[in-house]
Structure 1
Amino acid sequence: MPHIILIGTLDTKLSEFLYLRSQLQDLSKNSSAPLKITTIDCGRIPTKHEAITISQSDLVEKYGGGDSFDFKASPRGDIIKYMIGCTKACVRELLETDEVHGILSAGGTGGTSLVSAVMREIVPLGMPKLIVSTVASGDTGPIIGETDITMMYSVVDIAGTNAMLRDVLGNAAGAMLGMSIAYEKRMLSQKKLETGENKSRVGITMFGVTTPCVDKIREYLLSNYPVEVFVFHATGHGGKAMERMISESRLDAVLDVTTTEICDHLMGGNMSAGPTRLEAALKRGIPNLISVGATDMVNFGPKSMVPEKYTGRKLFEHNPTVTLMRTTKEECRMIGEFIATKIKDYAKETGNVEVWIPRGGVSIIATPGQVFADEEADAALAEAIKEGLHGSGVKIVEDARDINDPGFAIDMAKSFIKLLYK
């Protein structure tokens, strides 16, 4: 049976967590091995109960950094930040010293903020993470980030048990037990795989307007080489997820076909992956082929939500909830400078980096005759990259074809393979 960690603010949620714990125990009582549950209290006020494995006092004394923290005088936000630090240190130690197969929590805004920070920053991708939350039906982007946290809406406030909350918490316990059992089995299976062909793990970035290119690359790689392909949707969180997996050494090489998230970062779009985009692969020095897919566009919501400063710009309604704005010549130069600067500043192995520039169009809608066709803007992007990388030793390939041309995709894949197996 797996090991599940329960984390919560038990000064306000003790009865609810005791119910969660009892549900986990009841659901697993017919198993041949007992379920291991570690209950951590990360509340503001110390709470005593025999079911608590690691008390609030334990957290503060062992993981508080040796500084005395004034809980009474400190604002609520500062208390949450402090307890995040303590809980992160505790969970990190548990993950390093014991086998853990899932983490479960329940809470309101404060508890959700606290535990989600621990899950995002400490718990590895792939391990089950579930939060029953009063804010699960709202904007969960800041809570989940680029991770695989699962959220369940509590329907009613987590303030005393009632029939509705018992149903939700019971479902959460069942979901966590099922996920953690499946995760444990996968981990055991992986440990038993002593033989077999090792596959290189390859990350590829994709957008709707670069899908034909990525599909052709993926088909070529999987048909001819022992690789496992991870496709990341370049929606901001997708780029962050890829960068995280690279940093965690869970990817061996990257075909960064679609770098559109840089546009959103520079121009204030909705799908930015932040200012550190491109850095992880460059810092690790792994094989890294970079292209400029979908750098013709910045993503916004419905047309009415496009910022006023962009009034009069060339806009294209991709669907009722997504409006694309064509990047200008000046903006494309900024994008090219961003790419070149990142490579110059962070590339550990310049010989493992290539930049491919399709001059025939960087997306489906940027080819001649399409709505975002703009030769001057594309030329400014290419020139900025070439100027910025002049003398760097980084291989730059300019090609007359567009990014979704099957031949261009295959040629990129072949060059990538040379990087991967050189």
Structure 2
Amino acid sequence: MTDPRTILVIGTYDTKDDELNYLCDCIRQQGGEVLSMDVSVLGDPVQPTDLSKHDVAEAGGGTIAQAIESGDENIAMQIMARGAARLARRLYDAGRIDGVIALGGSMGTDLALDVCQALPLGVPKYVVSTVSFSAMLPPERLAADIQMILWAGGLYGLNSVCKSSLSQAAGAVLGAARAVEKPRRDRPLIGMTSFGKTILHYMVTLKPELEKRGFEVAVFHATGMGGRAFESLAAEGAFAAVFDFATQEVGNHMMGGLSAGADRLTNAGARGIPQIVAPGCYDLVDLIAWQPVPERFADFPAHDHNRLIKSVVLDEAGRREVARAHAEKLSGAKGPTAFLLPTRGCNEWDRPGADLHDADGLAAFCDEIEKTLPGNVTLHSLDAHINDAAFSAAALDILDDWIAQGVVKI
């Protein structure tokens, strides 16, 4: 390969020296180059790494001696996590790495999540972990484009089972570094949240209209991880404006559903990004379909979306609670914020005559929004359904006004 690409390989070389060196060898055998980073605390690798544990601890604001003297492995690894994340970003900014792969159990994975969050979208980020995909990994810790590979048979020592995982991971990160098409910044980006077209379909109308105006549009599937990616990019300031029209994850987090994290509906506002918000599917809480329905929802109406997702329908009290949460989260917004309130319903299943229609519940939500929405948010009540053409037209009118004022730039 004329363009070999360099991969940063991170792990505790004192306890996983053989495994990490095997991973490095696999990358080199495929024509890649390696920078090795040791995040050990107590021991030392057989051979020196490119970035030593002392380099990492120093970047984390401490020393290995301080980490050891703390007597607490959690404190020690947090020092190393800070240092590893800072060093990884410095290496990327200096053009020295094209991707990262980290190896570990729960401790190494904890550190790896910080490293991945420190790198921008489009930098290949692979975590080979004995706890990949575990429910212990909170959504707010996951980078928008993180990749995880389950490290089967990888707890202690090399074997043919774990080599299968490691060799695939080596090929994956190097291949991704060679193939990635990083996000362009030649057009301002609008971030939009939605669901599939059967329940919310405003994006079918809005996307081409926004593109005509010179924007690129990225639509995020708001089922927990999609909202997490949306919030992650909003926190980076990646969006020129947001059309956050599927805020169900706010209620999901409150009610124990598929959460996008406690900071859902806050990051665009914190960055001052102009935002238009609408409460798409606010009345539903998405649960894992193959698990028992929590007792609190045992008598609630429900919709089986598929074998993965079951949605329960909130009662009036729950809807008022979700409305107040929207108001509280938006109260911290530093930029222009408009709230579109479609008073005829906020998802296709909630239209009059549809299975999940609840006129009293919708009225309760609208009433609570009108009572609690803070003064920094402009309320636009619409005599329309969220999937009606009038809703999309209203959103475009707000955006066009912001463009005319210079609030949103093309």
8 A Cα contact 1:132 1:169, kept in partner: yes
User: Using a 3 Å threshold, how does the CA distance of structure 1 residues 360 and 141 change in structure 2: closer, same or farther?
Assistant: same
1:231 corresponds in structure 2 to: 219
Matched, 1:199 2:182: no
User: Using a 3 Å threshold, how does the CA distance of structure 1 residues 395 and 135 change in structure 2: closer, same or farther?
Assistant: closer
Q: Which residue of 389, 395, 399 maps to 1:406?
A: 389
**Structure 1, gaps ≥5 residues long:** 29-34
8 A Cα contact 2:92 2:98, kept in partner: no
Q: Which residue of 314, 332, 339 maps to 2:326?
A: 339
Q: Which residue of 318, 325, 345 maps to 1:361?
A: 345
2:204 corresponds in structure 1 to: 215
1:79 corresponds in structure 2 to: 76
Structure 1 SS opposite 2:30: helix
The Cα shift of 1:5 comes to: 0.7
Structure 2 SS opposite 1:71: helix
One-letter amino acid of the counterpart of residue 99, structure 2: G
Deviates more, 1:282-291 or 1:56-65: 56-65
Matched, 1:26 2:29: yes
The Cα shift of 1:128 comes to: 0.3
1:17 corresponds in structure 2 to: 20
User: Using a 3 Å threshold, how does the CA distance of structure 1 residues 91 and 134 change in structure 2: closer, same or farther?
Assistant: same
Deviations 1:151-172 (A, max 9, x none): 2233322533334433432222
Matched, 1:326 2:313: yes
Deviations 1:239-279 (A, max 9, x none): 222122112121111001111111112222x2222332222
The Cα shift of 1:302 comes to: 2.6
Count of aligned residue pairs for this structure pair:
400
The Cα shift of 1:36 comes to: 4.3
Matched, 1:170 2:167: yes
Q: Which residue of 286, 290, 293 maps to 2:277?
A: 290
8 A Cα contact 1:46 1:56, kept in partner: no
1:130 corresponds in structure 2 to: 126
Matched, 1:299 2:286: yes
Structure 1 SS opposite 2:201: helix
Structure 2 SS opposite 1:6: strand
Q: Which one has the bigger helix percentage?
A: 1
The Cα shift of 1:66 comes to: 5.5
8 A Cα contact 1:105 1:131, kept in partner: yes
Q: How many Å separate the matches in 1 of 2:67 and 2:394? A: 62
8 A Cα contact 1:205 1:231, kept in partner: yes
Q: Provide the TM-score with structure 2 as the length reference.
A: 0.88
The Cα shift of 1:368 comes to: 0.6
The Cα shift of 1:11 comes to: 0.7
1:248 corresponds in structure 2 to: 236
2:253 corresponds in structure 1 to: 265
Matched, 1:395 2:375: no
Deviates more, 1:169-178 or 1:292-301: 169-178
Q: How many Å separate the matches in 2 of 1:397 and 1:137? A: 40
User: Using a 3 Å threshold, how does the CA distance of structure 1 residues 137 and 347 change in structure 2: closer, same or farther?
Assistant: closer
Deviations 1:262-300 (A, max 9, x none): 1112222x2222332222222222221111110111111
1:419 corresponds in structure 2 to: 402
Q: Could you say what the CA RMSD is over the residues aligned between the two structures, in angstroms?
A: 2.7
Deviations 1:70-128 (A, max 9, x none): 53772443433332233223323323444421001222333223223322x31222210
Q: How many Å separate the matches in 2 of 1:164 and 1:85? A: 32
Q: How many Å separate the matches in 1 of 2:237 and 2:106? A: 33
Q: How does 1:145-184 map to 2 (within 5 A)?
A: 145-157=142-154, 159-183=156-180
Q: How many Å separate the matches in 2 of 1:62 and 1:284? A: 27
One-letter amino acid of the counterpart of residue 134, structure 1: T
One-letter amino acid of the counterpart of residue 369, structure 1: G
User: Using a 3 Å threshold, how does the CA distance of structure 1 residues 51 and 240 change in structure 2: closer, same or farther?
Assistant: same
Deviates more, 1:398-407 or 1:251-260: 398-407
1:31 corresponds in structure 2 to: none
